[in-house]
């Protein structure tokens, strides 16, 4: 991840997520019998494309809103282990 995370980049991703959430409700294709490529009902084609758009959205999130600092935080030695009942012996 060469690009440094910027708060504004993250906002674009979350606006995209909210838009995609709303676009799920495709009432405009509710009764449309159009076939895409002669066999695929347009309502199904729309939701197939929706799945691809979701993948693109999350690719954008990984690219522009990735929490880089989490990895470093996880790798740092914990100051004290909160009440954990399991302690590895090896």
Partner 1 sequence: MILTIAQTSLTPLWIIIAYLGLLLGLGAISSRFFRGTAADYFVVSRSVGSFLLLMSVFGTTMTGFALVGSTGESFAKGIGVYGLMASWSGLIHSAVFFLIGIRLWAIGKRYGYMTQCEYFRNRFESPALGFLLFVILVLLLIPYLLVGVIAAGRFLQATTAGMFPDLFVMTLPNGNPHPLTGSLPLWLGSLVICLVVLGYVFFGGLRGAVWANTFQTIVFMVTGVIAFYLIAEKFGGMEAATARLLATDKSERVIRGSQIGNAQFFTYCFVPLSVAMFPHLFQHWLTARSARSFRLTVVAHPVFIAIVWTPCILIGMWAAGLYAEGGLRLPKNPDGTPISNAVLGAMINQLMHSPVLSGLVGAGVLAAIMSSLDSQFMCVGTMFTNDIVVRFAGPDRFTDRQKVWISRAFILAIVAVTYALAVYMMGDDRRSQSVFALGVWCFSGFAALFPLAFAAVYWRRTTRAGALGCVLVTAIVWCILFYRDVFAEKSAHSEDETLIFGMMPVAFIFGASAIALVVISLMTRPLSNATLDKFFVPAETN
User: Which parts of this chain interact with partner 1 (CB under 8 A)?
Assistant: 1, 4-5, 17, 20-21, 24-27, 29-33, 35, 37-41, 43-44, 46-48, 50-52, 54-55, 57-59, 61-62, 66-71, 73-76, 78-90
Least CB distance to partner 1 at residue 1 (A): 8
Closest distance to partner 1 from the beta carbon of 42 (Å) = 9
Q: Kindly state the smallest distance separating residue 68's Cβ from partner 1, in Å.
A: 7
- Residue 32 CB contacts under 8 Å (≥ 6 apart), including other chains: 42, 43
Query: Which alpha helices (DSSP H) does 6-41 contain, by range?
Result: 7-23
Question: Which CA distances in Å does 52 have to 33, 64, 84, 86?
Answer: 22, 18, 41, 42
């Amino acid at each position: 991840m060469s690009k440094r995370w910027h708060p504004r980049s993250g906002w674009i991703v979350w606006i995209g997520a909210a838009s995609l959430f709303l676009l799920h409700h495709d009432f405009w294709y509710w009764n449309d019998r159009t076939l895409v490529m002669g066999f695929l009902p347009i309502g199904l084609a729309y939701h197939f494309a929706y799945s691809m758009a979701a993948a693109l959205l999350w690719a954008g999130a990984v690219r522009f809103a990735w929490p880089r600092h989490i990895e470093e935080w996880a790798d740092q030695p914990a100051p004290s282990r909160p009440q954990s009942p399991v302690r590895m012996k090896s």
